[in-house]
Amino acid sequence: MEKQKFYITTPIYYPSDKLHIGHTYCTVATDVLARYHRLLGEDVMFLTGTDEHGQKIGDIAAAAGVTPQEFVDRIVEGPRGIKDLWKLMNISNDRFIRTTDNYHVQSVQRIFKKMHDNGDIYKGTYKGKYCKPCESFWTESQLVDGKCPDCGREVQDAEEEAYFFRLSKYADKIRDLLENTDFLEPRSRVHEMVRNFIDPGLEDLCVSRTSFSWGVPVDFDPGHVVYVWVDALSNYITALGYENDRYHDYEKGWWPGVNIVGKEIVRFHSIIWPAMLMSLGEPVPKKCFGHGWLLLDGGKMSKSKGNVVDPYILAEQFGVDALRFFLMRTFPFGSDGNFSNELLIQTINTDLANDLGNLVSRTTAMVGKYFGGTLPAGCGTWAEEVSFDKELKDLAGSLRERYAAEMDHFAPHKALEEVFKVIQRANKYIDENTPWTLAKDMEANGPRLAHVLYNLLEAARICGVLLVPFMPESMDKLFAQIGADESSRTWDSAARWGGLSETAAVSKGENLFPRVDMDKALEELEAAKQAESGVELEPQLAEKVDFDTFCKSDFRVVKVKACEAVKKSEKLLKFTLDDGTGVDRQILSGIHKWYEPEDLVGKTLVAIVNLPPRKMMGQESNGMLISAVHKEKGEEVLHLLMVDDGIPAGAKLC
Ligand code: ME8
């Protein structure tokens, strides 16, 4: 029988800058679902990619002095770019689409033409508001306090000849899709969409622009480029081969698929995208799931706010699987969640090091110590089962069913909760049985001890199978340690208590999840963040200076009356300063590399004025100007300390 096909997609990412932990969250979640469906035995197609057109990217590339194509190539394909990140995070996508791929560009042109030819795209004049960062057109009535309803930023007036898509024509069908089917989840998003967009009346959508050129050209009307969202949304079918010869999977049962998206782009995926498909006469997706945001200090992460968290740093410090697990375990999929490094470390320590890691390491160590790594045949059964034997077996034996129910409802966090109930139950089972006491009299208690350890291995195995989608590499290690062969790693075997061979070869290997020292890890993270940004700071001095000694240094505010380069010196500038005494002070400073003398005249600076005089290049220097220094990408950077011009020359710093 042919395997059931399952098609799942992430949003395609804007390569406008490096991706952060919020993007990683979205892709890891989709990867977990894709791996879950593979575990079920389905024939999975998992698509991700990059959304590379639009005015925003054109503008950023221009500012960086490169062509848009060069710019996106670097961020998508370059070192530590988007493809590298997905490789690092063990993302198992089967396909990667770039909207600048030729086949996609051609398909979008054909899709646009099809909708034009069937009368759903017509020419008109666009008058309205445009939010550049969101690449979204808005009508006056949709604005919130005159600003973009999505991001709250200023919008621009826009007026140009443009093509329009008859979105209004599909209003009733879309309402029906949203309200009367389970297409869009979670349900709260349905209410948002209906209240904010359907109830006020769907207006036709402007789908072409003429004021910039970085996009898919409308082939039958030069000068127009296709609206970036029409271009981007089409990726879900062009990547399967719709209207192109690059792939041939569209008619093979992949479509319709499941779109996993963040909440701010649910509007595009649950209204505009289904309407486009209706216009094309194609089936709408099976599902659109709108997950929440990872917040930092209560706000959305964004480069412009400077509060992004770098997934490279976290994965390198804590391990890819620990990071994947944390993202799925901690934040209810569908709601917003507050990210913090402390929370990440706590989750690793509690769930992975304490609960799962300890269960596996204690059990495998005991099998090694008491049985030389192989339990005796027959240890899987025990005639006089006690209540806690039964409890553990029942809970683990029925876990797969509860887990699947949650995964099927896009609740990976709840599925993990079920797995961890079993892990915690198993750890309690160790305490209930005190194997080390049983081991004191192996002759009398050996068979019971073997049974207890078998039950523990078996509980670990079942949990291991169900954790594969979340932590594939670590679960391979776990299986190797408990001696689980291929047949006991399958989905079927997870519903069967007793799947592990009684005489499996058990070996205590490396610690799966080492405990993290919170303070040390936080310090290292900070250092890694600085190294990534290229900023290096001098370490603070440990040696204390007593207050009286400190007070002997006389720091004063000084004003620059004149400044010139010292002849024959590349570095030195000569300052004539007003230090409030009425007598000019001369100071020489080696800062020409960072400042031109004419830029400093009139500035208010700080100097230490009671250093002994020093001769430099034959000239006397009476004091030293105070600067702030750090290194950036290995280069020293210096900033003269400049203070408010209102402070009079000679004022003492204390
Ligand atoms: O929207 N928390 O691309 P994008 C959770 N190109 N998810 C987040 C997040 C956060 N802090 N920040 C971003 C686009 N995301 C379009 C998609 S699809 C045809 C075109 C999620 O790079 C965001 O919600 O801005 C979205 O789902 C995805 O990252 C890509 O965002």
With a 6 A CB cut-off, is 261 part of the ligand 1 pocket? yes
Q: How far apart are CA 270 and CA 274, in angstroms?
A: 6
User: Under DSSP, is residue 104 helix (H, G, I), strand (E, B) or coil?
Assistant: helix
Which residue has the CA at smallest separation from atom 11 of ligand 1?
22
Closest by CA to 460, choosing from 317, 612, 358, is 358
Backbone angles phi, psi at 234, to 5 degrees: -60, -20
The predicted pLDDT at position 634 comes to 66
With a 6 A CB cut-off, is 25 part of the ligand 1 pocket? yes
Mean of per-residue pLDDT scores for the chain: 94
- Where is average pLDDT lowest: 321-335, 412-426, 540-554, 628-642? 628-642
> Which atom of ligand 1 lies nearest, measured to the CA of 235?
19
CA of 225 to the centre of ligand 1 (A): 23
Q: Residue range 85-109: average pLDDT?
A: 98
Which residue has the CA at smallest separation from atom 14 of ligand 1?
13
Higher local confidence (pLDDT), 153 or 359: 359
544: pLDDT strictly greater than 70 = yes
310: pLDDT strictly greater than 70 = yes
The predicted pLDDT at position 541 comes to 83
**Omega of the bond leading into 256 within 30 degrees of 0 (cis):** yes
With a 6 A CB cut-off, is 23 part of the ligand 1 pocket? yes
Percentage of the residues of the chain whose pLDDT score is greater than 70: 98
Closest by CA to 68, choosing from 54, 48, 84, is 54
Percentage of the residues of the chain whose pLDDT score is greater than 90: 83
Instruction: Provide the CA 27 distance to its chain's centre, in angstroms.
Output: 8
**Burial tier of 454 (Cβ tally within 10 Å: 0-12, 13-18, 19+):** buried
124: pLDDT strictly greater than 90 = yes
CA of 27 to the centre of ligand 1 (A): 10
CA of 13 to the centre of ligand 1 (A): 6
Q: What is the pLDDT of residues 271-306, one digit of tens each?
A: 999 999 999 999 999 999 999 999 987 787 766 566
Q: Residue range 507-524: average pLDDT?
A: 95
- Where is average pLDDT lowest: 20-34, 123-137, 256-270, 530-544? 530-544
With a 6 A CB cut-off, is 294 part of the ligand 1 pocket? yes
> Which atom of ligand 1 lies nearest, measured to the CA of 26?
7
**CB-based contact 291:412 (threshold 8 Å):** no
Q: How far apart are CA 389 and CA 450, in angstroms?
A: 13
Q: What is the pLDDT of residues 466-504, one digit of tens each?
A: 999 999 999 999 999 999 999 999 999 999 999 999 999
Q: What is the pLDDT of residues 434-469, one digit of tens each?
A: 999 999 999 999 999 999 999 999 999 999 999 999
CA of 309 to the centre of ligand 1 (A): 15
Q: What is the pLDDT of residues 342-368, one digit of tens each?
A: 999 999 999 999 999 999 999 999 999
With a 6 A CB cut-off, is 265 part of the ligand 1 pocket? yes
Closest by CA to 448, choosing from 386, 511, 394, is 386
pTM: 0.82
The predicted pLDDT at position 633 comes to 65
Q: What is the pLDDT of residues 610-648, one digit of tens each?
A: 999 999 998 999 999 999 988 776 678 899 999 999 999
The predicted pLDDT at position 635 comes to 75
**CB-based contact 592:570 (threshold 8 Å):** yes
- The confidence band for 177, taking pLDDT boundaries of 50, 70 and 90, is very high
